[in-house]
Every structure is written in C-alpha cells, then in structure tokens.
Structure 1
Amino acid sequence: MGPQELTPHLFRTEYSKIVAVLCRTFHFRHIEIAADIASETFLKASEYWAQKGVPENPAAWLYTVARNKAKDYLKHTAIFETEIRKGLMHDESWTELDFDFNHQTISDSQLAMIFAACNPVNSSEAQLCLTLQILCGFSLVEISNALLAKQETIKKRLQRARENLRNENFQIKSLSEDEIKTRFEVVLRALYLLFNEGYFSKSNSLLIRKDLCLEAIRLALVLTGNELTDTPEANALLALMCFQSSRLEARTDESGAAVLFDEQDRSLWDQALIQKGNHYLIQASKGTELSKYHLEAAIAYWHTTTADPKKWQHILNLYNELIVVEYSPVTALNRVFAYAKVYGNDNGIREAEKLNLKESGYFHGLLGYLYTGLDSNKALEHYRKAILLTKSEAERKVLEKQVFRLIPIPEKDSRHDGDSFTL
C-alpha cells in the first residue's frame, strides 16, 4: 500500500490514539493543541513518505514524531510553565513528560477519553457528537448523516460542548465506577453508530468502509478488556459487530458493487469472526440484562445460520421484541422483511404499507423487493422512488441494478447498432 492509500487509513486508526495520549498531559481544555500536533504529524508523514517511502512500522513512526513534536511544543511555549507544569507538579502520579505510546497507555487513554467526552454537563446529543468527532474521527458530514441532523446543528452542538468542558476544566483521567455507569449508554451508542457508518456508509461513495468497522471493534474490545466496562451490554455490542463483520467480504463483488443478502456467497463468510461473535454473545448472556444490542446480536447470529428451517421465525420474534425496546423506522422495515420471509411477500406488502413511510428510500426499496415476482410494474415504480430518495451513491447503484433486472430487454432494432433504454 502506497503513501496515498496508507495515510488516510492510518489517520482513521491512529489520529484519535495520538490525541488521546497527548490529552493525558494537555487536558481537554487544550485539546486543540493535541489535535494540531496530531494533524502536523500526519502532514509530515504525507510529505516525508512521498519522498523517502513508507517506513517499516508506520504507526510507530507516527508516535515518535508526535512525541517529539509534543515535547518540542512544551519546551517552547509559556503555557507549559504557567498552566500545565503547575498542574502536573501537584499530580502524584506524574513523573516526566515521556508521552508513552505503548499499547496499555493508548488503551487507557482512549478509554478515559471516551468517557470524559461523555460528561453529563452536556446533553446526550452533544456528548454523542463530541465522541464521534474526537474519538471516532467522524467529519461533520458523517456525524450529521449518522444522527440525521443538519450540519449546522451538529457544528453548534460541538462548539457548545467543547466550551462547557473547557469551563469544567476536566482532565483525561481514570473515572469512578459511578461516572462510568452514568455515561456508558452514550459510549455504546457512539461505537454502534461508528460501526453502522462502516457497515453501510451513508456519507461515502463506498458502500462498506472496513476501516470504520475495524475501529469500532477495536474500541469495543477496549471496553470488554477493562473490568469496569466489561458488561453484558458491551459484550452484546461486540458480538453484533463480529457477526456483521463476518459477512463483509460477501457483501460486495469484485468491482465493489453491493451483493444482496440472498445472493451472497456463503463460503466467503468469515467463520472465525462468527465464532468470536458466538463467544461474546455467550458472555453477554451472563446476568438478566436484555438490551437492544442483545436483540440485534441475536438477529445477526441467526443471519449467519443456514441450517435451521425456523431461522426467519426466530428473527421475526426477535424483531418483535426489538421494536418494543427501541422503535425506529429502519427496525420496523427490517421486521417487515423478516415477516415476508415467514408469511410471504403478499402479507409482507400489506405489513409494509401500514408503516406509510413514503418519504423513506428504504421503504420503497423494500416494496420494490417484495413486489418483484408479483407485479413488475409496481416493483419498478417503488425502486425508482427509492433511487430518487437515497443520498448514498453506493445504495443508488444497488437499486439501479434491481431496476435493470426488471426491465424487459427489447428486441434488437435493425436501425440501431445495439439495444438501449433509460431508467
């Protein structure tokens, strides 16, 4: 992988690690300093690697440059003498500014930072925006798409949230068990949204962004690797991610185009990830808690199972529970898909029409699927409506592919060199 491809990938996976470790010293009110140093590190990498080539261990190279830049900054700015050093000297745990980027420090820093960003001084919406931006590396566009809000609204939330945390003067440090409990729900939701953006991107030309899926899994592993955050709910979320990730290779063809579930090559499913999903689902079953992540993980488990003749009935039953725990239009439409698998497309169409989600591209895409084989004209009508409503280029290509399958190929006209038709 060359510098042009590698640098964006490393930015997604390493930028937040660098910022988190630096913020253990700079504290959150100086997060802009940490962010600037991290950005300068990647700028130097893009320039240096283009001339000298990619080093053997690019992540370690980035950590070294970031460490040196941070130390250099502290030596040459008054802020260190007037604010940071004064605070550090009263911290018994502080010894020297070594900015250690070992695995444990990175893990501890990111765990502390994600919970620090979810400070209840801000609204839950603002906490989520802050977490997605700082720790998950989401852009304004990605956050607005993930939360279904305008970019200007997201921008204002982020500005207010940062200002509130500066006034609080909180530090990236170990949190108490009570603090973790009050912030845990937002943390899990942020990782859930991060994974979803990778699994089915709404803000990128690529349908699947594996780097986001892997980053979400990595952060979820940070949670399950700490005794204070190794909860059934966290394990359920990790199980869900493993089950869904097991099918990533089968969800697109060689050209990158999407492959629908019914048409996927099962031999491409990652059995090792399915086994990991089973492991974490068992871990999630300890105790009496039943969250939306438990139900979604169970649904994902049944999707990886092919032998059970009652598979879709099990999935439908789980969707019936999930829709009570947390209703959303997407959950309702997914439930209809399972309902049609159990009771047939005719009944599925009637169930879908009850939802009356006429402004949803997913709604029309589902009806297009259900009408296929029953009424081609109605299937085409709904698929075309879905194409007009979708904002995703990758999703649009999937829908256009279904339209082309339904349009009859006209007999060749001798006056033309070949056949043609329009959508």
Structure 2
Amino acid sequence: MTAVLCRHFGLKHIEIAEDIASDTFLKASEHWAMNGVPDNPAAWLYTVAKNKTKDYFKHISVFETQIRPALKPGEHEKEKELEFSDQIIADSQLAMIFTVCNPNNPPEGQICLALQILCGFSVEEIANAFLTKKETIKKRLQRARTNLRNDNFRIRLISETEIRSRLDTVLKTLYLLFNEGYFSKTNNQLIRKELCSEAVRLALLLTENLLTDTPQTNALLALMCFQSSRLEARTNHKGETVLFEAQDKSLWDKSLIEKGNYYLVNATNGNEISTYHLEAGIAYWHTASTGEKKWPHILQLYNQLILIEYSQITALNRIFAFAQVYGREKAIPEAEKLNLSESNYYHELLGYLYAELDIDKAVDHYKQAINLTRSKTEKQTLSKEIERLKEKNGR
C-alpha cells in the first residue's frame, strides 16, 4: 500500500503515504471490530486507502503549495487515478525496494530504511538484526530519510545498471527480514511466520523479473524454502523450542523442501558461489535424510562460509557441526577460543557441549545464557534444560 501511494507522492513525501496506510489500518481495526471482517479484506483496505488519498488531494493545502509545483507538466494528470491492481502492487513493491536501496545512502542505511518502510520493522527489531544499539539505528534512519527527501526520489523504472548495483543490498534486506522471522529476538516470539512468508514472497517477486532472477536470488530463495519447511516442527504446542535432533520430521513440509531443491538447482546457473549458496547448501543437508553422514558436508560448507563472511553466529554454528563430526570434547576448546562471553548463543553452545561431560559447567553456561537473552521463550527453554540436567544429576 505504501509503495503504490509513493508512486503518487514521491519518496520525498513518504511520511504522507505511511500516514494514509496507517490510518487505513486504524479504520479497519475499528470498523471490523464492530461489523466483522469483510469478505474481501484486501479490497476493503485498498478502497479506503484510495478514498483517503482522494480526500487528501482535495482538502490538504500541502498538495497545492508544495507538491503540485514540483510535478512535471502532465505528470499529475497521468497518475491521477490511483489503482491497486495486482500488477501495479507487484511493480510498485519491486520498484520501491530498489528505490529505497539507493547508493546515496551507505549500505547500512539502505537496509535499515528498507526494513522499516518495506517490512514494517520497529527500531528495536532493526537494532536486533544488526546487533547494535537502538540509538545508532535511529540516527541511521533519520539520515537515510533526509537523504531521500532532499534528492526527491520517485518510484520509477530504474535502469538495468542501477538494478544490478543495488541487488546485493536488496537481497541482504530480505535475508535479515527472513532471519527475524525464523529466530525472532523481539515480541517474546521465537518464530514470526508472517515475516518469513513476506521475505519469501518478495524473493519470489525477484525471481519473476529477468533482471533480478540471478543465481544469488535463487540461492537465497532456496535457503528460505529449506528453512521454512521446518517451521512447524521448531516449536511444540506450548510454544517451546524443539531442538533439531528432537523435531518430528513428519511435520516438515516436503513441498517446500522440493521447492528449495528447485531453486538451489537454478542457483547453479553461474560461476559465482555466494554466502547464500553455502547457507542454502547447509540448509539442504539439514533436510536430507542421510543421518549422521550429513555432518561432514555441513562442516565443510561452514568452513567455506566463514572464510567468505565471518560472523559470530556462523562461527558458533560451525562449532556445533564440528561437535557432530569430532565429538563434544574436542569441540569445547574450539568454542572457548572464540571467547564470546557477552553472547547468549556462545553460552548456549557451551551448555550443550558440556551437558554430557560436566553437568555443573553446563548448568552454569545455561544460566549465563538466560541472563544475556531478552527472549522470554528462550529463557523458558533454557530453564527447562537446566531442570532436565539437574534431575539427571540426581539433584
């Protein structure tokens, strides 16, 4: 909705489009609570948004004094009728993704802005995705929005060169969007399926466009499909985390695994191996029914991934795979070399590694992880594991 409205207002006045979209959903929450959800909710929302836009053009003097003079002759007349057809919505979203990811802003600013505008992320959610402070994100967003307003960007068709130069940032944005859904650090929810679904939908849009249907795009979509296939099995009926080894494989979505295989094959139509290729390969082996034979392949892929793009999470995941291949005892010194004492994931990993070797140390690490995480669901899962270990130890 915001993307289509910005075709009329231009990104210089993006706040107007966002306000109309917000008002539309506010009206829906009030009207639907009294009268029930309409048969076609999307059509109802778009109709209200269209009417609110018409009212704005009629009654708000800002349009006459600030926007109209900036429009080129005939431009307003050409776009006077606001439409929300499927094609316009898809085209607007795709165009807006690439317009927001503008090189006039640094990459971090582009991604922050895209996550907020296109994905509805809060400042806290963006801060979690970047593992940084909220104040830092607020400053990035303010600078990025100012740059867009000052340059008066409009949603439009952009050149092939511009698309190719911005695609990496767009893919990174979708990657972070999916990750926040797959392992959420906010709202006391471990999984936010709506974010995973939105990331997949936007990635599909990219594969349907000749200029953006690249091996990297297909690799990212393959990764999303493989990961999404296990969403139903990652929590139990109480909302508690179910570790990979204990997941009910009958709950895995085989159709999504097949789609993952399809897009992974498509991703091989080139010579480049990206981080998305390697992560999709890791996710593929997780869904493959090869038992313990899969872990050497997974470890090999992590070894390649960490050389291309180091991150704390990749390093910790690699240690987990290392433990599956060489045993927990050999993995412990490898993990301790990382010395990520401020990370809850680090202590969770050490808790897991010590669980069969030294229960007291395992419990101590799990307690440190509980103190470091902000996720209520994660705290509950770790507390449950501590109780299990204490019972095992006869306490």
TM normalised by structure 2 equals 0.96
- What is the aligned partner in structure 2 of residue 253 from structure 1? 236
Could you tell me how far apart the structure 2 residues matched to 1:39 and 1:264 are?
39
Residue 54 of structure 2, aligned match among 68, 71, 75: 71
Q: Say if 1:399 and 1:312 are closer, same or farther in 2 by CA, change over 3 A.
A: same
Report the count of equivalent residues: 395
- What is the aligned partner in structure 2 of residue 342 from structure 1? 325
Residue pair 1:302, 1:314 contacting (<8 A) in 2 also: yes
Residue pair 1:28, 1:171 contacting (<8 A) in 2 also: yes
- What is the aligned partner in structure 2 of residue 151 from structure 1? 134
What is the RMSD computed on CA atoms of the aligned residues? 1.7
Residue 145 of structure 2, aligned match among 157, 162, 171: 162
Q: Say if 1:116 and 1:381 are closer, same or farther in 2 by CA, change over 3 A.
A: same
> Is 1:389 matched up with 2:372?
yes
- What is the aligned partner in structure 1 of residue 251 from structure 2? 268
**How big is each residue's C-alpha offset from its partner over 1:12-34, in whole Å with a ceiling of 9 and x where there is no partner?**
xxxxxx10000001000111110
- What is the aligned partner in structure 2 of residue 53 from structure 1? 36
Percent identity over paired residues: 64
Deviation at residue 101 of structure 1 after TM alignment: 1.1
> Is 1:172 matched up with 2:155?
yes
Could you tell me how far apart the structure 1 residues matched to 2:393 and 2:284 are?
43
- TM superposition outliers: structure 1 runs of 4+ over 6 Å: none
Could you tell me how far apart the structure 1 residues matched to 2:160 and 2:92 are?
16
- What is the aligned partner in structure 2 of residue 9 from structure 1? none
Task: Kindly report which structure 2 residues correspond to 1:46-125, keeping only aligned pairs within 5 A, or say none.
Answer: 46-85=29-68, 88=71, 90=73, 95-125=78-108
Residue pair 2:110, 2:169 contacting (<8 A) in 1 also: yes
Could you tell me how far apart the structure 1 residues matched to 2:393 and 2:368 are?
23
| Counterpart residue identity of residue 306, structure 2 | I
- What is the aligned partner in structure 1 of residue 2 from structure 2? 19
Could you tell me how far apart the structure 2 residues matched to 1:170 and 1:54 are?
36
Deviation at residue 258 of structure 1 after TM alignment: 0.8
Deviation at residue 388 of structure 1 after TM alignment: 1.1
> Is 1:242 matched up with 2:225?
yes
Deviation at residue 227 of structure 1 after TM alignment: 0.9
Could you tell me how far apart the structure 2 residues matched to 1:410 and 1:121 are?
59
Comparing 357-366 with 334-343, greater Cα deviation is found at 357-366
Deviation at residue 410 of structure 1 after TM alignment: 9.7
Residue 187 of structure 1, aligned match among 139, 157, 170: 170
Deviation at residue 308 of structure 1 after TM alignment: 5.4
Q: Secondary structure at the match of 1:408?
A: helix
- What is the aligned partner in structure 2 of residue 204 from structure 1? 187
Q: Say if 1:290 and 1:79 are closer, same or farther in 2 by CA, change over 3 A.
A: same
TM normalised by structure 1 equals 0.90
Comparing 180-189 with 315-324, greater Cα deviation is found at 180-189
Residue pair 1:67, 1:98 contacting (<8 A) in 2 also: no
Task: Kindly report which structure 2 residues correspond to 1:294-305, keeping only aligned pairs within 5 A, or say none.
Answer: 294-305=277-288
- What is the aligned partner in structure 1 of residue 216 from structure 2? 233
Could you tell me how far apart the structure 2 residues matched to 1:193 and 1:122 are?
18
Deviation at residue 94 of structure 1 after TM alignment: 6.0
Q: Secondary structure at the match of 1:407?
A: helix
Could you tell me how far apart the structure 2 residues matched to 1:287 and 1:96 are?
40
